[in-house]
């Protein structure tokens, strides 16, 4: 079956969000243009890494091209658009900058058994995993990073001793010789 490529050029909305309570959340990337909305699920660490690498990329671009990339609009604090229907689970993320269009390119590839199945950035081969491709201007990418970092940080508070996440019931802390610590 040929792969499906979901492409969004400057979507109305591109955000990271969650469904569920802290400790049991499912993370999503969601893109929307008009009536078309695509949601893909991924790990919390993937969201955090994407935001970190995107900030690094934007810093490199602003230094190399002598431009300032900042976001001046209102923060997007709205929940994910409903209904949330997972198109696929993300296995690989790719990130790049197109100097001609002055846009960030984010690609989220569906999980596969092999990294060799993943095509190069902006390559539209007929075979390979399904793909969400989003192209954003730098200021919108900055807004995405701000929200993504806030979503990741909104989870369970860390244990003051071992920094592992605290459940409401507490957790077995390795730094407290296995005693159950309560938050």
What pLDDT is recorded for position 152? 93
Q: In the chain, pLDDT over 90 holds for what percent of residues? A: 60
Task: Determine which of 14-18, 94-98, 119-123 has the lowest per-residue pLDDT on average.
Answer: 119-123
Dump pLDDT digits (tens) for 8-38: 999 999 999 999 988 889 999 999 999 999 9
Cα-based angle 172, 154, 131 (whole degrees, multiple of 5): 105
Q: Are strands 36-42 and 26-33 parallel, antiparallel or unpaired?
A: antiparallel
Burial of 17: CB neighbours in 10 Å, binned 0-12, 13-18, 19+: buried
Question: pTM score, two decimals?
Answer: 0.84
| 5-156: CATH number | 3.30.2450
CA distance 146 to 125: 33
């Amino acid at each position: 079956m040929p792969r499906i490529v979901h492409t969004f050029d400057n979507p109305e909305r591109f955000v990271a969000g969650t469904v569920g309570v802290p400790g049991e959340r499912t993370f999503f990337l969601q893109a929307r243009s008009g009536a078309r909305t695509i949601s893909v699920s991924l790990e919390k660490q993937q969201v955090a890494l994407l935001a970190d690498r995107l900030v690094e990329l934007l810093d490199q671009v602003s230094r190399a091209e002598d431009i300032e990339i900042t976001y001046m609009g209102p923060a997007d604090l709205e929940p994910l658009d409903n209904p949330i229907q997972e198109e696929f689970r993300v296995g690989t993320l790719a990130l790049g900058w197109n100097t001609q269009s002055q846009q960030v390119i984010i690609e989220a590839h569906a999980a596969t058994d092999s990294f060799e199945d993943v095509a190069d950035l902006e390559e539209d081969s007929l075979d390979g995993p399904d793909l969400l491709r989003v192209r954003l201007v730098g200021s919108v990418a900055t807004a995405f990073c701000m929200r993504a970092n806030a979503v990741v940080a909104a989870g369970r508070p860390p244990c003051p001793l071992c920094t592992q996440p605290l459940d409401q019931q507490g957790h077995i802390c390795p730094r407290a010789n296995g005693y159950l610590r309560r938050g």
